[in-house]
Amino acid sequence: MNETMVTLQGWLGSDVTVRQAGDATVASFRVACTPRRYQKKTDEWVDAETQWYSVKAWRGLGANCERSLRRGDPVVVHGRLNAQTWTNSANIEVTSFEVEAILVGHDLARGVSQFTRTPGAGQRATGVGSDAAGPEGGLEEAAQEAAA
């Protein structure tokens, strides 16, 4: 399976909107990424043009995004980059890009965040969670042992 994975670091450009797609919750939001470049000639940092990305987060991740994220928050998004080509009203072929989020979080380089575990969030399809440490104990127990 060859998929293009991307990681975005930027700012939430809108509040999260949520809709139902069948039985699944899907959250949508926009992320603005403004690259900075150092210009040696002027000895200063300069902002490049802001790039906007549409992001979709499904099911529990989408619900958590709705509860956790607000416009203007610094975020990090990791997911699959999908291209969609369509023809607009002027009969011009347009390609738009959307990120299907796998992981979303606040950018802790820009502030602090408070984490609250949701019920049932310890197990995910990726194998991360309380069962990931095997039958001898979960990740929480391993973290507590390491802290002791």
Provide the pLDDT for residue 118: 81
Q: What is the mean pLDDT of residues 29-43?
A: 94
pLDDT of residue 38: 93
pTM of the prediction?
Answer: 0.73
Q: Which of 56, 105, 79, 75 is CA-nearest to residue 9?
A: 75
Average pLDDT, the chain: 84
Percent of the chain with pLDDT over 70: 80
- Provide mean pLDDT across the span 110-125: 76
Instruction: Quote the pLDDT of residue 120.
Output: 72
Q: What is the pLDDT of residue 130?
A: 37
pLDDT tens, position by position, 63-114: 999 999 999 999 999 999 999 899 999 999 999 889 999 999 999 999 999 8
Predicted confidence (pLDDT) at residue 128 exceeds the cutoff of 60: no
The pLDDT-based confidence of 131 (bands split at 50, 70, 90) is very low
Domains of the chain (ranges; CATH) run 5-116 (2.40.50.140)
- Concatenated DSSP letters of the chain: ----EEEEEEEE-S--EEEEETTEEEEEEEEEE--EEEETTTTEEEE---EEEEEEEEHHHHHHHHHH--TT-EEEEEEEEEEEEEE-TTS-EEEEEEEEEEEEEE-TTS------PPTTTTB-TTS-BTTTT-TT--HHHHHHHHH-
